[in-house]
Chains A and B, each alone.
Chain A
Amino acid sequence: MKRYDLIIVGAGPSGLSAAIEAAKHGLTVVVFDENHKPGGQLFKQIHKFFGSKEHMAKIRGFNIGEELLKEASAVGVNVKLNATVTGMYGNKEIVVQTENCVEHFKADSIIIATGAAENVVTFDGWTLPGVMGAGAAQTMMNLHGIKPGKRVLMLGSGNVGLVVSFQLLQAGCDVVALVDAAPKIGGYGVHASKIARCGVPFYLSHTILKAEGEKFVTGVVIGEVDDKFNVIKGTEKHFDVDTICLAVGLSPMSQLLKMAGCEMEDNAQKGGQVPIVNEYGETSVEGIFAVGDVSGIEEASSAMIEGRMAGVCAAEYLGYCNKDEMVKRHTKLEDDLESLREGMFAPKNKGKNIELTEEGIPVSKSLLKKGYISEDEVESFPGVTHKKGLHPVIECTQNIPCNPCQDACKFNCIHIGEKLTSLPVVNEKSDCTGCGMCVAACSGQAIFLVNEEYDEENATVTLPYEFLPLPKKLEKGVALDRSGNVVCEAEVVDIRSTKVFDKTNLLTIKVPKNMAMSARFYKNLDTQV
């Protein structure tokens, strides 16, 4: 039976990170993954990530995946694909199924990084073709280049539901509604705003009553629920759709750990059955670690740090580095991880009703209910200022761990400070040159460059634009406000796409002066339906 120093199950963000860290310390590492491509969910993530430079913020997920693969191959990590681990035992033996055989392997240490599976909800017609997980829709679009449908209803307003809705719009689908049984939007406000300004309506406190259709989905009926989640009679609404996406959470795929005798717990906060792990990610079975979503649902950035932590701990456990070295590295990683677990959406704040930002500003109620900030609310945030000439307007109103905008501005217009979750402040004394680096750097697409006095009658608004085909200079269309309503005519003054913007195009539109603080999106009614 072949033996390794370290076996890792799962070549996603946490598994690869663990493999890199361990291999750097000299361990012989093998990673098994059941898929035919490595990277886990990373290669489906076409959006820019949040966080700080250390967390690879403002880099698109699939590019982070490429980086990880390069790093892994440079340090000699052996990734075995199409290799499904079907069993694990407490003596650190695993069974791997490949194309035509099942093979046993042993290791001195094992790191489980199997990730999670999508949850479903059941309703009348939920087994019809056309009902699918949001992650499945993402796989179809972003890996296989197939549109999941033409008209889509999304259930679930967490970050997955919001991000995938935006990607559906990018792929050219109509998202007819975003529905959630909860009374407020679960994911980042900036993600919600991106789809609200494209005109996607939010139905909070609503649930799906049934999917219609004989052989496949042809429609959907939703209804409003009361505070006990009972459907209120007479509130039914029908939509013609061919696709229903479910983004209703993830469940850790922790069966291997349970099989190996690791102590488990049922933890609703973490998404279900998870192993009980110590600060190093080690389970109750010595030398078996669990990292990433399998030990509690979070996101890719924290999964990568958890992976590195377990990697260095496995190295220490097997004597490839000393305890001091491990603790030093671990402390650094722990700090990185803690900074990601701060803010309104931190795991510790799950389910809490936060009414004020860290700065003491009332959180936008409209943002939580409808997906966009109302015009009077937006003025209370430190990123929103007014002055003569060009200036950034930062509609970032919730404390999330993210700061690329601060680094992007070389002219000190934007200040966040030491605390990653602080709201960006626009420094009115600094002069904005209009370079647009902040607009492109903002993973939440929440920064606009506004010139309130472009000429006698008009203002200009520069907005991040990630749709194809790109509008052409001097073409005329309409401007949409934060809710997606058409508010005025607009002319394209400029469209900028450079390599540093990394595929976020900067679209500058000319609108009447009084629309400078309203116009937030552009549509060409001839080329877009």
Chain B
Amino acid sequence: MNNVNDRSRNIGPFIPESDDDMIICRCEEISKGEVRKAVHDGMYTVTEIRRYLRCGMGLCQGQTCSKTVKRLVAKECGVSMDTIEPATSRAPMRPVAMMVLGNEIGGE
């Protein structure tokens, strides 16, 4: 385990900021304050934040907000951005209508 994921670290208290109500993930309408609070709730990776808040799981699949979320998590944890584990990539990479998903050709 790298120390970025070390939950016993003290990252200090959540301090409200004036722009906490700014939307970060447009698809799921998640605000900056919600992302920052999630870090203080113990979500230190982008994957956890996604599961916790659903940011990055909407229509654009994180195309727009993933870098911003990563930056916020890094800042809250006081580490550099490249030490934050990126989100998992899994199919389907783009939104698929259930009707289309149900019509599968060539799968096993």
Contacts and interface: CB of A to CB of B under 8 A. Distances in A.
Interface of A: 1-2, 34, 84-88, 95, 97, 99-105, 117, 119-120, 122, 124, 126-127, 251, 253, 255-256, 258-259, 264, 266, 268, 272-273
B26 A127 contact: yes
A417 to B, nearest CB: 41
Contacts of B24: 122
Interface of B: 19, 22-24, 26, 32, 63-68, 81-82, 86, 89-94, 96, 99-101, 103-108
Q: Which of A105, A259, A266, A268 has the most CB of B within 10 A?
A: A266
B91 A95 contact: yes
Nearest to B107: A104
B32 A122 contact: yes
A259 B93 contact: yes
Contact of A86 (B26, B96, B107): B96
A103 B96 CA distance: 12
A271 to B, nearest CB: 10
B82 A266 contact: yes
Majority-rule SS of B interface residues: loop
A97 B105 CA distance: 10
B57 to A, nearest CB: 13
Contacts of A126: 22
Contact of A104 (B89, B92, B101, B105): B105
A101 B108 CA distance: 15
- List the 6 closest A-B pairs by CB distance, nearest first: A87-B91, A86-B92, A104-B106, A255-B89, A258-B89, A1-B106
Nearest to B64: A120
30 contacts: A1-B106, A2-B106, A85-B93, A86-B93, A87-B91, A87-B92, A95-B91, A97-B96, A97-B100, A99-B100, A100-B103, A102-B92, A102-B101, A102-B105, A103-B105, A104-B107, A105-B106, A117-B63, A120-B64, A120-B65, A122-B24, A122-B32, A124-B22, A255-B89, A258-B86, A264-B86, A266-B81, A266-B82, A272-B67, A273-B86
B104 A101 contact: yes
A101 B94 contact: no
Contact of A102 (B26, B89, B100): B100
A53 to B, nearest CB: 37
Nearest to A259: B89
Given A34-B94, A105-B106, A268 B82 contact: yes
Most buried by B among A86, A120, A251: A86
Contacts of B91: 86-88, 95, 259
Given A102-B105, A127-B23, A256 B93 contact: yes
A85 B96 CA distance: 11
A268 B83 CA distance: 12
